[in-house]
Amino acid sequence: MVFQFQRRRDLLALLAYFLLTLVLTYPLILNFTTHVAGDGSDDPALAWNLWWVPYSLLNLGSSPIYTNYMFFPIGLNLGFYTLTYLNAFLAIPFQFAFGIIPAANINLILSFALSGFGAYLLVTYLLNRTRMNAEERGNETNPRILRLSASNFFFAAFAAGLVYAFSANKFLYASLGQFNIASSQWIPFYILFLLKIFDSPKPPLRYGFLLGFFLLAQALSEFIFASFLILFTFAYILYRLIKTRFQIKNQKSKIKNLLLAFLVFTIPMLPILAAMISDTLTEGDFIQQGLGFSNIFSADLVGFFVPSQLHPLFGSLVSRFSFPYINFMYLGFTALALAILALWKVKPARIWGFWFLLFALISLGPTLRINGAEFDLPMPFDALLEIPLIKGNRYPSRWSVMLTLSLAVLVGYGLAWFLNTVGRRQKTERGLIRFVLPAALCLLLVFEPLSTPLPLSNLQVPSIYSEIARGAGNFSVMEIPLAWRNGFRVTGSYRADSQAPIDRIFMYAQFYQTTQQHPILNGNTSRNPELKFQYFAEAPVLNSLVALQMGHEIDAATRARDKELAPRVLQFFGTRYIMWHSPFEETNRDVANKTRAYIEETFPATKISESYENGRGVVAYRANELPANESLILKPNDPLARLYFGEGWGALGGDEFWAQRKEAKLFLPLETPRDMKLALSRFESFGGPHWGISANGVEISQQTPPEAETQIAMIPKTLLRSGMNEITFSFDKTLPIAESPNHQNSLVVRSTGEEQGAFGHIFVNGIDESPNARGYNIVVINPETFQVEARENFDTFASEQESERMAEFIAQIPNGRIVAVAASDEASFHLTENAVNALKSLGAKQDLRGKFRWSHALIATKGEPQTAREAASEINVSQLVVGAAITERTAAASIGEIRIEPAP
């Protein structure tokens, strides 16, 4: 094969990288069956991946791209999640032989060793190419041309592999448990075959196949890195065109290889890409929110020269500098010195100097930061934020993989030139020159980014989960703390106050599922539509739990209501076990204990186990048996209505339920399947003469609405199952609300503080007209035309000047105009008296001063304060609805009441 494994030196290099990995990841080798690298933030979820992919395929017979084992029952499209499919497939034999934890560790060992080996092969190829080009041009006597002995040649390429495999940034990501980011081993293989295709006069098609294969391998390990390679490919093609002065003749074989690579990559990726595109078309562009913390997770220019905080000798130096988060990007002085030497002495290395500079600039992020000081200059990363999918990378520091590979190539060139030159001067290749000096340089290249001991995370599963796994039937497990996480925020978990760290214990619940193998309400993903979080954040009882976990108090009236609703909540979710976990952070101990007390006070459940294993406390409660509900009656203002409605519905809490997509999902929990009768009262369809219904993905029938307002459909028991069922309504088409029969205008205002969602929506006829930014968002509407005349955001958290500007804005609104107001994230910190009085002039009663991160919604007519409607809350979403309760541009139907009961 092209890798020439028969060569003894190649095998020696690969073996050396494996052995070095075992040493440099110490003490992982001593805890191989119980711990993984990480700090408990990302490692439990990424280890969960290794279980979920084969479990969904082999046990459930379903695609791993979709799951309701998290975010139960609403489920999740995992197209945007870092599912690391390839790592999961590679881990299958190890998982079945040794378990998930050893399988995860074997994957990590492979990622280090293969990273080194890939860079070694790449630099070996580049050095060979440089030497052959020199010999063809008759420059073999030029001292700048590399004419190496076999041993020096090997050391130069091997050293390059050390730089790439054991870089400080790779150790850093491993220490954070981000195995997806540590899985950068396929990048050098891809670039190797990209170069081979363009260097060969007539490259064989196997090069194109391998190019596509390694791009696919990287995409299935970490898609962001695959996007980097795609961008690099376009940049490299442009470089070659410029170099050849845009000569494109006789390039058919290269084009064929690139087309083959495209097919090899694209065809297996189609299901994932289809899932991503489908969610984007349905839910809108949710892949990026502003800068997405890219200004924080960027490299600092000074950080290139400051050792990692993980270094056993020099790690404390980081504390002397002003890095906003972590120093992502230490490069090492030995590596930089050899790189400079290569740029100075080896002409073919200079293009890699260009790539090094480009990737360094991108990794600096949207602003130039030097020891914490920011300079707002145009940066290359800004352009990447405009590219679809690519903009989903909110961590500029992740470009460190491309930067480090460029550095590794330069190190290979520099060391090759150095050994060649010194060897000539000494007239010998023995002793110091042949072995000692290269070995010393390799030791320095390993020592400078050293990150030993590597932080480890204990993933041993408490024994109670094995007992849960033996339970028969379909049921869910409620893990406490409740929490839902994506790449931008965490809703829930333990957090004593807004300044306290979010407790990472909730991440372990996802990994514990690998043992108990039942759905959980909690969830973790990378990107998701807003509803996936709001479904739970707005659910009764659950929202009280989340509030308690985050340091808020629950009043007596709410506690009494929760106690009344709790049995129905458990029954809806089919929850058999409630698992309370002690916090990681001692500062969160008090809120954790208050949450436990609430559980014991509110839920009809019995404690069955309390244990303290592996440094973590777990209390298990089993839900008491409750009488089954045979009938379901849903009205718009039912306190539990939120639980039953999935995607496709408008805001709840109005006078009707509004289906606003061609498909709208309803959840139906059943203890025993039976023939059911569905009745829809005050039904009005806008999109056409037919509507349909399906149960668990199987279409039942197309219904033709008769004159009667109540629609009837029968659901046979053969399509239903014990546990949670999905009933989907389908409609011919949707219409803008202004074109619907009996047209009514629609105004929906939804406000949340940071903890409950951090948004301030103002939907006017289904279109979100709000700036939806931190602080107060205001939209002014003409009451006659219902057209928006003005919209503005005022960041009253940031400054008093914003509050004064808001007061002036409100004062200038003409009388008679409809004014909709929604606070988002935090609006109180610099709220002034003038701003409060301006809101009161509209009819507001609430004064948010001193009410940190409260929600606040207001609908008023300027000049008629007595007509104002208002809602505000410390712990809940504030919502106001006037007219149709729609939150999208179109609607399909309105329904006054939904009734599902056993068929006669």
Condensed to tens digits (0 to 9), the pLDDT of residues 297-345 reads 788 889 999 999 999 999 899 889 888 778 888 999 999 999 999 999 9
* Token couple for 307: 């050792």
Q: Is residue 819 part of a domain?
A: yes
At 47 the pLDDT is 97
Structure confidence by residue, pLDDT tens digits, 504-539: 999 999 999 999 999 999 999 988 889 999 999 999
| pLDDT tens readout for residues 67-84 | 999 999 999 999 888 899
Whether residue 231 is found in the same domain as residue 348: yes
Tokens 């130069």 correspond to what residue? Answer: 156
Which residue type is seen at 376?
Answer: D
**How far is 342 from 330, CA to CA, in rounded Å?**
20
> Are 110 and 241 found together in one domain?
yes
Which of 181, 34, 158, 192 has its CA nearest to residue 104?
34
pLDDT at residue number 850: 94
Q: Which amino acid is at 520?
A: I
User: For position 2, what pLDDT does the model report?
Assistant: 42
Q: Do 808 and 679 fall within a single domain?
A: no
Q: Which of 185-194, 378-387, 757-766, 862-871 has the lowest mean pLDDT?
A: 378-387
Instruction: Answer whether residue 455 is part of any domain.
Output: no
Instruction: Let me know whether 665 and 614 are in one domain.
Output: no
User: The domain containing residue 795 runs over which residues?
Assistant: 746-883
- Tell me if 646 is assigned to some domain: yes
| Residue written as token pair 């339970």 | 471
Domain boundary among 385, 419, 447: 447
Interhelix angle 542-549/556-573, rounded to 10 degrees, is: 120
What whole-number distance in Å separates Cα of residue 896 and Cα of residue 893?
10
Task: Classify residue 43: in a domain, yes or no.
Answer: yes
pLDDT over 80 (residue 156): yes
What mean pLDDT value characterizes the chain?
Answer: 90
Straight-line distance from the first to the last Cα atom of the chain, in angstroms, rounded to the nearest whole number: 70
Q: Per-residue pLDDT for 142 more than 70?
A: no
Where residue 747 falls (left for φ over 0; alpha for ψ -120 to 50; beta otherwise) is: beta
Pairing of strands 818-825, 746-753: parallel
| Phi and psi torsions of 643, nearest 5° | -65, -30
In a domain, 164, yes or no: yes
Q: Summarize the confidence of residues 840-869 as an average pLDDT.
A: 96
Q: Are residues 551 and 428 in the same domain?
A: no
Residue 430 in this model has a pLDDT that exceeds 70: no
Asked whether the CA dihedral 852, 856, 861, 864 is positive or negative, the reply is: negative
Share of the chain above pLDDT 90, in %: 71
Contact 845, 815 (CB under 8 A): no
More confidently predicted of 297 and 260: 260
Determine the Cα angle at 789 with ends 783 and 791, to 5°.
Answer: 120
Query: Tell me, what's the pLDDT at 329?
Result: 86
Q: Are residues 519 and 584 in the same domain?
A: yes
Strands 523-524 and 691-695: unpaired
Residue 1 has pLDDT above 60, yes or no: no
pLDDT of 704 reads 61
User: Could you tell me how many helices (H) and strands (E) the chain has, helices first?
Assistant: 26, 35
For residue range 653-669, list pLDDT tens digits in order: 888 999 999 999 999 99
Say what the pTM is: 0.91
Which pair of structure tokens corresponds to residue 475? 């049921």
Q: Dihedral through CA 569, CA 572, CA 573, CA 574, nearest 10?
A: 110
Q: Are 541 and 565 in contact (CB under 8 A)?
A: yes
Structure tokens at 633: 């009656």
Burial-class residue 711 by CB neighbours within 10 Å (0-12, 13-18, 19+): buried
Q: Is residue 8 in a domain?
A: no
- 395 in the same domain as 272: yes
Reply yes or no on whether the pLDDT at 7 is more than 80. no
Model confidence pLDDT, tens digit, residues 594-646: 999 999 999 999 999 999 988 889 999 999 988 878 889 999 889 999 999 99
Q: Is residue 697 part of a domain?
A: yes
Q: Domain for residue 2, yes or no?
A: no
- Using DSSP's 3-state secondary structure scheme, residue 268 falls into helix
Host H or E run for residue 781? strand 775-781
Q: 447, 474, 491 — which closes off a domain?
A: 447
Parallel, antiparallel, or unpaired: how do β-strands 760-764 and 746-753 relate? antiparallel
What string of DSSP letters covers 126-173? HHHHHHHHHHHTT-TT-TTS----HHHHHHHHHHHHHHHHT-HHHHHH
Same domain assignment for residues 597 and 519: yes
Cis preceding-peptide flag for 481 (omega within 30 of 0): yes
Cα separation of 703 and 616, whole Å? 55
Q: What pLDDT, on the 0 to 100 scale, is given for residue 708? A: 67
Query: What is the C-alpha to C-alpha distance for residues 822 and 73, in angstroms, rounded to an integer?
Result: 29
Q: Which segment, 6-10, 62-66, 243-247, 392-396, is predicted with the most confidence on average?
A: 62-66
Same domain, 170 and 281: yes
How many structural domains does the chain have? 4
CATH number at residue 657: 2.60.120.260
The burial of 325, by beta-carbon neighbours within 10 Å (0-12 exposed, 13-18 middle, 19 or more buried), is given as exposed
Residue with tokens 């808020």: 552
CA distance 539 to 315: 46
Which amino acid makes up residue 68?
Answer: N
Q: Is the pLDDT of residue 148 over 70?
A: no
| 346 and 321 within one domain | yes
Question: Would you call 672 exposed, middle or buried from its count of C-beta atoms within 10 A (0-12, 13-18, 19+)?
Answer: exposed
Whether 651 and 605 share a structural domain: no
pLDDT category of residue 143 using cuts at 50, 70 and 90:
very low
Give yes or no for a contact between 737 and 765, defined as CB atoms under 8 angstroms apart: yes
In contact, 406 and 356? CB cutoff 8 Å: yes
CB under 8 A, 24+ apart: contacts of 738-744 = 738/765, 740/686, 740/891, 741/684, 741/686, 742/684, 744/883, 744/884
Write out pLDDT tens, residues 129-139: 877 666 556 55
Least confident segment among 397-411, 672-686, 816-830: 672-686
- In 625-697 the beta strands, taken as DSSP E runs, fall at 632-634, 657-659, 663-670, 676-681, 684-685, 691-695
Residues 6+ apart with CB under 8 A from 663: 647, 648, 728, 729, 730, 731
Are both 258 and 396 inside the same structural domain?
yes
